[in-house]
Amino acid sequence: MRISGSIRPEKEEMPATSMPAFDRAYSGGGERVSMATAGIDFASSYRLSIGGELVEAAESFDVYNPATGAVLAKAPAGTVDQLDTAVAAAKAAFPGWSRLSWDEREGYLTRFADALQAQSEELTTLLTLEQGKPRHSMAKGEVEAAIYWVREVAKRRLPREIIEETEQHVVETRSTPLGVVAAITPWNFPVLLGLWKIAPCLITGNTMVMKPSPYTPLCTLRFGEIAQGILPKGVLNIVSGGNELGQHLTAHPDIAKVSFTGSTATGKRVMESGAVNLKRVTLELGGNDPAIVLPDADYKDLIPKLFWAAFGNSGQWCIAIKRLYVHSDIHAAFVKEFVAYARDRKVGDGMDPDTDLGPIQNRMQFDKLKNLFADIAANGYAVPLGGTIDESRAGNFVPVTIVDNPPEQSRIVQEEPFGPVLPIIAYDDIEDVITRANQTPFGLAASVWGRDKAKAYEIASRLEAGTVWVNEIHIHGIDIPFGGHKQSGLGVENGREGLSEYTNTKVVMTAR
Q: What 3 state SS string does 109-135 have?
A: HHHHHHHHHHCHHHHHHHHHHHHCCCH
Cα–Cα dist 140/45, whole Å: 23
318 is catalytic: yes
Q: Are strands 257-261 and 280-284 parallel, antiparallel or unpaired?
A: parallel
What are the start-end ranges of the E strands in 397-466? 401-404, 421-427, 445-449
- Enter the pTM of the model: 0.92
Cα–Cα dist 126/473, whole Å: 28
**pLDDT value of residue 466:** 98
Q: Which of 106, 225, 284, 416 is catalytic?
A: 284
Name the phi and psi angles at 239, rounded to 5.
-130, 115
Q: Is 132 left (phi over 0), alpha (psi -120 to 50) or beta?
A: left
CB of 493 within 8 A of CB of 482?
yes
Name the phi and psi angles at 440, rounded to 5.
-155, 150
CB of 445 within 8 A of CB of 320?
no
Helix (H, G, I), strand (E, B) or coil at 509: strand
Burial class (CB in 10 A: 0-12, 13-18, 19+), 375: middle
Helix (H, G, I), strand (E, B) or coil at 303: helix
What b/e readout covers 229-253, taking b as 16+ CB neighbours within 10 angstroms?
A: bbbbbbbbbbbbbeeebbebbbbbe
Q: Any bridge partners for residue 326, and if so which?
A: 293, 426
Helix (H, G, I), strand (E, B) or coil at 459: helix
Cα–Cα dist 37/53, whole Å: 17
Q: Which of 106, 130, 318, 416 is catalytic?
A: 318
The H or E element spanning position 169 is: strand 169-177
Cα–Cα dist 320/289, whole Å: 7
Q: Going residue by residue through the chain, which has 512 residues, state the pLDDT in tens, using 9 for 90 and above.
A: 555 543 233 333 322 222 222 232 333 333 333 333 347 888 899 999 999 999 999 999 999 999 999 999 999 999 999 999 999 999 999 999 999 999 999 999 999 999 999 999 999 999 999 999 999 999 999 999 999 999 999 999 999 999 999 999 999 999 999 999 999 999 999 999 999 999 999 999 999 999 999 999 999 999 999 999 999 999 999 999 999 999 999 999 999 999 999 999 999 999 999 999 999 999 999 999 999 999 999 999 999 999 999 999 999 999 999 999 999 999 999 999 999 999 999 999 999 999 999 999 999 999 999 999 999 999 999 999 999 999 999 999 999 999 999 999 999 999 999 999 999 999 999 999 999 999 999 999 999 999 999 999 999 999 999 999 999 999 999 999 999 999 999 999 999 999 999 999 999 999 98
The H or E element spanning position 246 is: helix 243-251
CB of 410 within 8 A of CB of 381?
yes
Helix (H, G, I), strand (E, B) or coil at 233: coil
244 is catalytic: no
Radius of gyration for the chain, computed over Cα atoms and rounded to the nearest angstrom? 24
Q: Which of 101, 27, 181 lies closest to 491, judged by CA?
A: 181
Burial class (CB in 10 A: 0-12, 13-18, 19+), 4: exposed
